[in-house]
Structure 1
Amino acid sequence: MGFVNFVQFDYFFMLKKFDSSLKEHNFSNPPRFMPISGTYVLEDLKNFMDVAWSIQFDSSWDEVFKLIKKVKGADPVSLGVWKKILARIRYLKENKIIEMLIQLISEDPSYNEVYTTKDLYIVDDFITEVKKQAENTLSALKEKQTEGKIEVLLNQIFGTTQIEKLKFYTEAGSAPFERKEIGRFEYCEPLAYLKKFILDYVKKDVKELSDILLVRGEWASQQLATPMSEAFHQLIENADKIIALDNSLDDSVDLGLKMKTHLPRTERDKESRNIIHSTLNFVNTSAARIILGSVNLFITYGRNLKMVLEDCIKPHPTLIRNWKDIDHFAEGKLKQMCIGVYKEIFSFVSLMQNFHIEVNEDA
């Protein structure tokens, strides 16, 4: 069953380490592989040896490919291409190329891999594999639907899907912890979107509207304006919180330095592993609180803005007594400004609802 194990090896997981933007089954965009530390792929190389070295080079591959074509109705690859792949694998194995790579990366010249082939129970493995494929298909469909919604909303809100990432709280920054199966940065995308939305939209369009409604507007009761005013100012503060949290992960200061110091020790020191795990929980919980808190603030601001809109179309508005004056100040566009901001807030809240965000109360 070496052939089955070789085909089912998770090549994507290994390749993604060289290009964090790489997407599985997407062949339209060429990968942009970057140099990385060999330690990141050390275990992958060992796992690859386990599957590649177990292939029987002298098997009757003509018969195997005939059977595959009969079952599948098509050749996955041509027999000629497969034989070239086999020749390269045999060369790597006979010349101990990967073993020497591992010796170099691990700085262990005595390393000598002992690999074993596993006997598979065909029927059980087949049933398990079919079930796994079905579950993966359903999961992929759901994920693709979500990705589609996210892309539509990103284009609608920002005019692009290429949103600037944070400095340190990123997929690339998360990779070293994922490789050691300690944890990861959970909310890289939504936190980056939130920062951009606050800096690019809240600090400009929403601020302009707030200055007119909350500063120039004469409210019937200041208590009616307070929730809207507080929501706006807390959102501005949340942008600073995002930047501070992100900067704390710089590996020369604070949390980043702590995790950098303990990361090399995690293989042999359980305490170091626990420290990084708890730090990741703290960071993710902090990010989740900022995101969920901001969503609630947007909802508060939007709900009060809707109340203002409903009041302004009345013959005699009662919430803001000088509506005509502030509308004149806004060159007669105040209602359109309110509608525009309300729509943008609604779209952004809809965007955030596509991400599963939860606060770990124990962190």
Structure 2
Amino acid sequence: MTTVRTTIPRASGVLGAATACYALAMSVFGTTTSLFLADEAGAGPGRVGLYFVLSAVVSVGLGLTVGRWSDRLTDRRNVLVMAALAGAAGAGGFALVRQYALVCAIGALLGGLAQTYASQVFAYARELSEITGRSLTRGTASVRAVFSAGWVLGPPAGLFLLTRTGFGALYAGLAALLLLAALLARWVLPRVPRAHAPATSLRDALNQVPRRTWLLLGAATAVNVADGMYLIALAPYATHELGLSATLVGLLAGTCAALEIPLLIGVGRLAGRLGEERLVRGAAVLAAGFFVLMPFAASGPYLLLLQVPNALWTAVLVSLPMVLVQREIPGGAGTAAALFSATFPVAQLLSGGLTGLVAAHSGYRGTFWCGAALSALAWVLLRARRKA
């Protein structure tokens, strides 16, 4: 134990550096893929949408499979290395390939494997906290803060480089970042001693998930769908319905992500005072209030002001539910983290379809009312956890 405790500063620093490399690369990749598909692969709107649907479906299956497999290994760093190398290979493929079918195959398979890095980082953080006695809530929030920082810095830097270097050089640079993340995970990140998880199937592992945890996952999915609808609708709502500039949309996203960083650090301390369950339920109420206010936002300053509650509820609901899921699911940390992470691509699938359906009938303001209803549903599911 003494040896492990002495490696905590190094482990935390290296984990932060590796996560930062991954977050920067994936944030740039995520914000430029649709443009790459349209400009370089010649994909129309329908085929762009098909790519993201395919990627979301594959990432769910790969995430759960890799998560369960990772719990049978004695060294989780091997999975981190595999995921980062898959991402590096995928970015390298995008730097060279322009055929739509090959781009889809590379993005779905290698990109899906690369996305498992995120859940495995949280699984590693959980095991590190267990063996050292450090707070899992604070450790998870710190890792999530690194991801938020990546989304603050990555997209503007990536778009700046794209205009000067083109897609080939940009994706080659992302491959280098992911390769660095793999090297840090394998050669610098300390090994955390762990035992083999029981050799059960994925189906058996899912059958062991408590009912109250399924309610939490349902609530997380509901707020993720609401958030996805907001992100899709924000740009056309601000520019088409309010007549505001597109630059403001980028400012809103950057402001929210920047606010999340200090809030995520404070979530761990606040949860210790108020209680994790109560704080999560309060965040769902705050989310509903945020979406109720959005249809009345008619100016840039009002929209900027609303990013404060937006960042607060997001900071709570992207970190604490992960902690609760990891505590409640029996078995390995990889399966728990992968199951929670699966709520994001599932929400991505649902939010796209719902946004189009609602906006077609009631405009983009209607999507915010839908977000409020989904947040209220999340609160109901969280209340039901108390009786489960």
TM over 0.5: no
Interval containing the TM-score (normalised by the shorter chain): under 0.3
Q: Return the TM-score normalized by structure 1.
A: 0.27
Q: Which has the higher helix share?
A: 2
Q: Point out which structure has higher relative CO (alpha carbons under 8 A, 6+ apart).
A: 2
Largest Rg, 1 or 2: 1
